[in-house]
Amino acid sequence: MIPIKLTLKNFLSYREATLDFRGLHTACICGANGAGKSSLLEAITWAIWGKSRTESEDEAIHAGASDVRVDFIFQNNEEVYRIIRSKGRGQSSALEFQIESGENFLSLTEKGVRATQQLILHHIKLDYDTFINSAYLRQGRADEFMIRRPAERKQILVDLLKLDRYEELAQQAKDLSKQFKIQAEQIEQNLIAIAQQLEAGKTIAAEQEVLKTTLAQLEQNQETDQKQLQHLQGLKQQRHTWEQQLTFVRQQYQNLSQDCDRIQQDIATTEAQQQQLWQLISQAEQISTGYTQYLNLQKQDEILTAEFQAYQESQQERQELQQKLTKEINELNRQIQQNQAQIEGLRSQEQEIQETLSRGGEVATALAQFKSAKKRLKELDNLQLEASPLLQRRTGLQTQLDRAQTKLTARLEELYSSETQLSTQIATTPQLRNTVLQVEEEIEQLEKKKVYQQRVQEKGLERRNFQERLQENQRRYEKQIGEISQKIEMLKVQDAICPLCDRPLDETHSQHVIQKTNTEYQEVQEQFWMIREQLSVCERELQILRQEYTQLSKELAPYEVLLQQRGQLEARLEATDEVYDRLYDISEEKKQLERSLERGLYAVDLQSELREIEIKLQELNYSEQTHALARAEVDRWRWAEIKSAKLEDAQRRQGKIDAQKPQLQTKLDALQKSLDELQTTSPLKQTIDALEREIIEIGYNLETHNNLRSSLRQATSWQLRHQELVRAQTQYPQICDRISSLTQTLTGRKADRDESNSQLAQIVKQIEQCPDPTNDIRIVEERIQARRRQLDEQLSLVGRLQQQLTQLETLESQYQEQQSQIQVLKRQYKIHDQLAIAFGKNGIPTLMIENVLPQLEAETNQILARLTGNQFHVQFVTQKAGKRATKKSTKMIDTLDILIADANGTRPYETYSGGEAFRINFSIRLALARLLAQQAGTSLQMLIVDEGFGTQDSDGCERLIAAINAISADFSCILTVTHMPQFKEAFQTRIEVVKTAAGSQLRLSM
């Protein structure tokens, strides 16, 4: 394969690039790492074999591009070919294969990429694995041939030397030898059989005459039995007709009996319903009395509910007015207390003034009085120290009592609100009970329909089973009709064959068989139509049952919803009882709170403590007013020297007091009068008294109301029973009519059944008068069939003997021919067996490899000696001792091991350095490529070395370049790839690769 031109589009690092190889012999592809040097060689392998270093073909597309295309023109075996491989991203690849014809290329492309690929391999005679193991030293894979297993190395040599053709020849020879052997064995078996047949043919003529005499006697006896059989079959046909009628009438009798049983069951069920309804109607007086009692209780409940609402409204209004009256009374009391305090203050001042005035002349005794007043003040101060904590505690207790009262008042208001809500909820109870009764009535109706639906379903299953049995019988009769029809058609054909003995029928026998078959056909046809009629009736019944079942299913659809609704309503009714209890509890709590507030029965501990504090204060007899008077007395006596001024002041104060006292007393009298009127004759008090009288007149008693409600709940069942009584009175006449109708229907069915029974008796009598000839027919038929088998056997023996006589003459000549043919086949078997051994892997291919390996070994050592200065030596070993070899017997096995020796002896390939290993690999690969180039007919004319020089020192690089130049004459094109400057300078022709923003670019320098 000699490259001519390579054109790239969007392949790996290249956008647009073209490389013309014409004029290139030994060239160096150089450039920086990652510039795209190896991509040129990858493009060649991808174009020819569709393989590259990428894992998928989409990865070969240039980044940002949508498709890739490689166009490669090359020469192989004096022909110029062109391969174009392209692919869109995410799409299947396309492949074109062309051959040069004049100035143009003709297409050799097959249908499909796989077929075209096989055609390319057929023309170039080189696959991808062989190429990379010989002429292409790929980057990082220079040791591709060395790391292969011995068997794989041997296979590579077989492929490169085109020795696989011998394997094909060996397989063909092996197949031909097997065919010749099988043919010879088959002919030998045939000869044994022919010899046995010729030996048995001597007695055939005598046997043939004896058989003809026996055959004539059997035919005469057969004709007599046929006439007797026809007479018996006529009798059987008449009896069969009566039996069919008997079966039909029996089926009709059975159906009528089933109808009678079903109607009697319906009558029994209906009579049971009638009995239940009559029992309910007989209790009408008791139910009416209970229902009347229920209605009376319901009216009393409505009256008490109204009284309860009026009682509740009056209680609430009275409470509001009472609170308002209490508030006004408290306000008047506060004003009265203020006036009384002012009057008391004036009296104290007046007393002080009088004392001052009365003692105006007692100046001598002033100091004594001052001391006395001072002593008294000191005592009051001491009392004040004891009384102050008690006074503070009293104030705190009073505040707590006020808070407790406020809390009770708020709770009372809350109870009033809850009582109103519960009363409203209780008011809806009668309507809820009516709803429950309606739902239960609907559920009862649906449950009755559900029971009826189950009966319909059971009857449908019964009809369905009967229909399946009829359908099975119908299929059996259809099959019999088809078989009989086919038999009739076969009998109508000229020269018909007997269906029993497979012999040709004469005219007499043919008519008899046709008549018998037609009779059988009519019988089966009658049974078939009877089954069809029964199926039609059964299908109509099933259709009616399906429609009825579907209608009932629709009517029963709300059943589950009604059950849930009934449960919810019953739960609400049960909750109503809890509401009554809760309302009673709230009422009791409300009364208790009202009583506590009216009587002050709350915070008893605080009130008790407050009373104790009041007692202690009384025992101390401390008064703030007295304390103030004592201080005033002290002050007054302290200012005794200004007694005259005090006297004047006392007179002025006395005048003011005299003026204020009448006003305050008048106001106090007016307030006291207003308080008395407010508590006795005020409109507010009169309204409260009127409400209390109204509450007493209402006379509502919660306990009586609760007892009435309990009685009402117990009497609810009378309402349900009353509704059932009304329904029973409505349904009872209908049930009576249905019983009458069913009784009439039953009478008619019984009459039809009796008529069918009489028909059965008549038919049975006719059948008894006509004896069954089946046993006689069976005996005659068995005799005819046995004789027919004898006739068939005799006729078959006669024909077979005649045929054997004819065949024996032919076999005699065949025996002689096959005797000579078997000798030729055995000779061909031996020849092709020897050829298969010669063409096998241990034959000519092994000999050729053994002949080639010394030359390959010598060529490798010659190149390796130039590269290493005679430091290394390579040896190829094709056989070695097996693992199970012993001292007495040594078994050799085929292999292709490569032994490497240096100055220190032979050691494994893995122990050599990178540079040493590369030189060894390179020597073997160059020798292999050179050897293949020398072989006649090979197309391997190109050598590629991709990198690998980086492991060499300067001396190693010079030796490699020298080795390449030494073998350059044996190849049409040698390409080396490197990024080392000192290496690329050794080549005059260079293909420089530069990576740019627009992709890798090529520049050729020579």
Measuring CA to CA, how many Å separate 129 from each of 93, 133, 152, 947?
Answer: 21, 6, 11, 19
Cβ pair 202, 805 in contact under 8 A: no
Secondary element (H or E) of residue 686: helix 683-698
Look at the block and give the residue holding tokens 């006292």. 661
Q: Is the dihedral of CA 439, 440, 443, 449 positive or negative?
A: negative
Q: What was the pLDDT predicted at 230?
A: 75
Angle at alpha carbon of residue 626, lines to 623 and 629, rounded to 5° = 150
DSSP designation for 621 = T
Helices 844-868 and 164-200: angle between axes, nearest 10 degrees: 170
Q: How confident is the model at residue 72 (pLDDT cuts 50, 70, 90)?
A: very high
Angle at 522 between CA 521 and CA 526, to 5 degrees: 120
User: What does 225-275 look like in DSSP terms, one character per residue?
Assistant: HHHHHHHHHHHHHHHHHHHHHHHHHHHHHHHHHHHHHHHHHHHHHHHHHHH
**Whether the Cβ atoms of residue 15 and residue 62 lie closer than 8 Å to each other:** yes
Going by C-beta distance under 8 Å and a sequence separation of 6 or more, which residues neighbour residue 849? 154, 157, 158, 161, 163, 878
CA 637/CA 366 separation, integer angstroms: 6
- Domain architecture of the chain: domains with CATH: 431-557 (1.10.287.510)
Cα 819-821-822 angle, rounded to 5 deg: 70
pLDDT tens, residue by residue, 741-797: 888 888 888 888 888 888 778 878 877 777 777 787 788 778 777 877 777 777 677
* Average pLDDT score over residue span 973-997: 79
What does the pLDDT average to over 96-114?
88
Strand partners, 995: 1000
**Lowest-confidence segment of 604-613, 667-676, 948-957 by average pLDDT:** 948-957
Do the annotations mark residue 501 as ligand-binding?
A: yes
Residues 648-682: pLDDT tens digits? Answer: 666 677 777 777 778 878 887 888 888 788 777 88
Of 96-100, 374-378, 468-472, 806-810, the poorest mean pLDDT is in 806-810
Instruction: Give the C-alpha separation, 910 to 500, whole Å.
Output: 86
Q: In degrees rounded to 5, what are phi and psi of residue 224?
A: -60, -45
Residue 970, pLDDT score:
67
pLDDT for res 496: 54
Which range among 26-35, 268-277, 417-426, 824-833 shows the weakest confidence by mean pLDDT? 417-426
- Whether residue 4 has pLDDT greater than 70: yes
Does residue 96 carry a pLDDT above 90?
A: yes
Q: Which two tokens stand for residue 199?
A: 């030996």
Which run of H or of E encompasses 593?
Answer: helix 559-599
Are 946 and 38 in contact by the 8 Å Cβ rule? The answer is: yes
Kindly list the distances between the CA atom of residue 501 and the CA atoms of 511, 517, 786, 787, 932, in Å, as whole numbers in the listed order.
16, 16, 10, 10, 78
Distance of CA 512 to CAs 185, 228, 370, 498, 795, Å? 53, 12, 174, 11, 21
Q: What is the pTM of this model?
A: 0.37
Percent of the chain exceeding pLDDT 90 equals 3
Q: Among 950, 821, 935, 932, which residue's Cα sits nearest to residue 131?
A: 932
Round to whole Å and give the CA distance between 460 and 467: 10
Closest CA to 868 of 930, 919, 929, 922: 919
Q: Is the pLDDT of residue 482 over 90?
A: no
Give the pLDDT score at 770.
73
The arithmetic mean of pLDDT across residues 449-466, rounded, is 81
Buried b / exposed e over 199-215, threshold 16 CB at 10 Å, is eebeeeeeebeebeeeb
The percent of residues in the chain predicted with pLDDT above 70, rounded, is 84
Question: Tokens for 64?
Answer: 């940002």
Q: What are phi and psi of 729, to 5 degrees?
A: -65, -30
Helix (H) or strand (E) holding 760: helix 716-769
Q: Which residues pair with 1003 in a beta bridge?
A: 992
Sheet of 989-996, strands arranged across: 136-137, 942-946, 973-978, 26-31, 989-996, 999-1005
Region 587-591: mean pLDDT is 80
Q: Look at the alpha carbons of 340, 341, 343, 347 in this order and tell me if their dihedral is positive or negative.
A: positive
Contacts of 512 (CB under 8 A, 6+ apart): 226, 229, 230
69 three-class SS: strand
Distances (CA, A) of 940 to 76, 160, 362, 857: 8, 9, 163, 20
Mean pLDDT of the chain: 77
**Angle (deg, nearest 10), helices 914-934 and 844-868:** 130
pLDDT reported for residue 507: 63
Label residue 936 by pLDDT band (50, 70, 90): very low
∠ CA 542-544-549, rounded to 5°: 90
Residue range 363-398, pLDDT digits in tens = 456 666 767 777 777 877 787 777 777 777 778 888
Does the pLDDT value for residue 77 go beyond 90? no
Residue 83, pLDDT score: 94
What is the distance between the alpha carbons of residues 85 and 43, in angstroms, rounded to a whole number? Answer: 10
pLDDT in tens, 316-364: 887 888 888 788 888 888 888 888 888 787 777 777 777 666 655 654 5
Distance of alpha carbon 192 from alpha carbon 196, whole angstroms:
6
| For residues 270-290, average pLDDT | 83
Residue 502 banded pLDDT, cuts 50, 70, 90: low
Each residue's pLDDT tens digit, 517-570: 788 778 877 777 777 777 877 888 888 888 888 888 888 888 888 877 777 777
d(CA 665, CA 416): 44
Q: 502 vs 491, which has greater pLDDT?
A: 491
Angle at which helices 774-839 and 164-200 cross, to 10°? 140
Beta pairing partners, 994: 1001
937 band by pLDDT with thresholds 50, 70 and 90: very low
H or E element: which one contains 86? strand 79-88
Beta-carbon neighbour count of residue 507 at 10 Å? Answer: 7
Residue 806, judged by CB atoms within 10 A of its CB (0-12, 13-18, 19+), counts as: exposed
First CA to last CA distance, the chain: 23
Tens-place pLDDT, residues 765-775: 877 777 777 78
Instruction: Compute the half-sphere exposure of residue 634: CA atoms within 13 Å on the CB side of its CA.
Output: 16
Output the pLDDT for position 272: 86
The Cα–Cα gap between 160 and 929 comes to 9
Reduced to 3 states (helix: H, G, I; strand: E, B; else coil), residue 17 is strand
How many whole angstroms separate alpha carbon 798 and alpha carbon 790?
A: 12
pLDDT at site 645? 55
In angstroms, the Cα distances linking 926 to 68, 415, 421, 850, 949 are 33, 113, 110, 19, 15
Q: Note the pLDDT tens digit of each residue in 872-925.
A: 888 877 776 665 555 555 566 667 777 888 777 777 766 777 677 777 777 777
